[in-house]
A and B are shown apart, each in its own frame.
Chain A
């Protein structure tokens, strides 16, 4: 529910954040793709609406981190928190907002019984790789594999 907010606030994502999520993605990638984000936000809101987080500064959403709890995939029976997408408005980087959102997700996943948090990253993207390293992510024995078709 809206409250007059000043300063920084981390809170769960809701459906009215869609517009800002689309804008942040566009600022980062240069691509306007509302349909993609409508699908993804719809997906996370119906699966685990308290997991995904946004960062607000003075009432404006400036970052998002989408994730959910899964079990039983790829032979991983233990519940794992998965982070799929995140983004911070370039004007608001360097304020630890990504870390704060990550910590909020971690708290939620731990409350739900997760003992590990996972993600997949393109190691060639130095910014993303550095961010994940700083959060404490380490290479996993579980390796992403692919074969061109």
Chain B
């Protein structure tokens, strides 16, 4: 495993640095205290990392066996357009997640949890930087509709929660519980996407994946380990963290995570072009299976906290029995434990978009009744958000027949320039006016 570290051209590097000063005010604290929280770990480097020694030939799709492409103009126009959209969307998600984390980071109860999330944010920044490297190191102008690299970078840096490409990155966090559940649920989709893209027929993109995946492994741990600890505290009666609070956050993020895979019926183009090795539904099924394992693991930790005298085998038996009977065991009801919502619950994209399916798979006939159900299942602070209000208004129009499902799906945000209050909306040109200093990836 050998990795090449590459900086962006200075003006772009500075633009990213400028952006992070707005959205990651604790960045310097993270670097200053790195040794305390991550002793002996390699220092953080804001740079693009390319894996060396990866496969030279296309692994899947119509061009399987041919040499991998190293420049956009070696792809067909359709392929290059499709890949450009993937890279821009990925870049948007990386910066978007930092903005979301920033909103509630300071509410962490525990310094270790906070520093873990800060490291996650720094590594997401590096992932966004990586995508900029892909956008800027080659000429995409023949498929970008005339949009230049500098404009693509500005466009992405100007986005804020609400204007990102994927819905999961347009939802504000309500509390630090969201920081953790997001890492466990949404970053897991990231792991799937990166893993699928390791085969990509465009070699610079494929070579970008392994270093990102190595960092993603910690992001998932930064979600799951605090959840396990919270389950233990909940089991011991801590009134400030309960499984019910965690469940509501799972209900909020799981539907958005499923939608990040794309429509269940799609994904053929990615496989045909050799960009990914799985179609959407196949990957989504595996994701659900993996999350079910996560939920069971946390429930087991909870039960062991409630019944310290039980052996691991006894805990497994109790869990099996509660899942089968949906009943009660010595004061613990099945409904007290965590569970994954039905995959059709609260969906606004994909096959079950805008259907009235409840968290347990039950069907609703009226919007009012469904919205009351949502109000019971989602975090209280989320109920008053713009995102949920827009969802509710759109749902009402779909159910009333005033808006088709297809049109409702199209109402979701698109990649576009938005004016923000932050000068970063002109980031690249703005930093050009600063004094020249050498770029210094850390």
Q: Which residues of A contact B (CB under 8 A)?
A: 1-3, 14-16, 18-19, 22-23, 26-27, 32, 34-35, 38, 41-42, 45-50, 70, 108, 111-112
Contacts and interface: CB of A to CB of B under 8 A. Distances in A.
A51 to B, nearest CB: 10
B192 A1 contact: yes
A48 B286 CA distance: 24
Given A16-B297, A46-B218, A32 B224 contact: no
Leading 6 A-B pairs by shortest Cβ distance: A49-B217, A46-B218, A23-B312, A15-B221, A19-B297, A15-B224
Mostly helix, strand, loop or mixed at chain A's interface?
helix
B293 interface: yes
Most buried by B among A14, A26, A41: A14
Given A16-B224, A16-B297, A38-B225, A111 B1 contact: yes
A42 B225 contact: yes
Mostly helix, strand, loop or mixed at chain B's interface?
helix
A34 B221 contact: no
A18 B293 contact: no
Contacts of B222: 42
Nearest to B291: A16
Contacts of B191: 1
A35 B228 CA distance: 9
A45 B191 CA distance: 14
Nearest to B39: A43
B290 interface: yes
Contacts of B228: 18, 34, 38
B175 interface: no
Contacts, number: 73
A1 B224 CA distance: 16
A34 B232 contact: yes
Contacts of B38: 46
B380 interface: no
Contact of B221 (A19, A32, A42, A48): A42
A1 B40 CA distance: 28
A48 B228 CA distance: 22
Interface in B28-50: 38, 40-41
B294 interface: yes
B1 A46 contact: no
B236 interface: no
Given A18-B225, A47-B41, A49-B217, A2 B297 contact: no
B122 interface: no
Contacts of A111: 1
B117 to A, nearest CB: 13
B199 interface: no
B346 to A, nearest CB: 24
Nearest to A108: B1
B195 interface: yes
B225 to A, nearest CB: 5
B41 A26 contact: no
B300 interface: yes
B289 A19 contact: no
Nearest to B296: A19
Contacts of A1: 191-192, 195, 286-287, 290
Contacts of A16: 224, 290, 293-294, 297
B442 interface: no
B347 interface: no
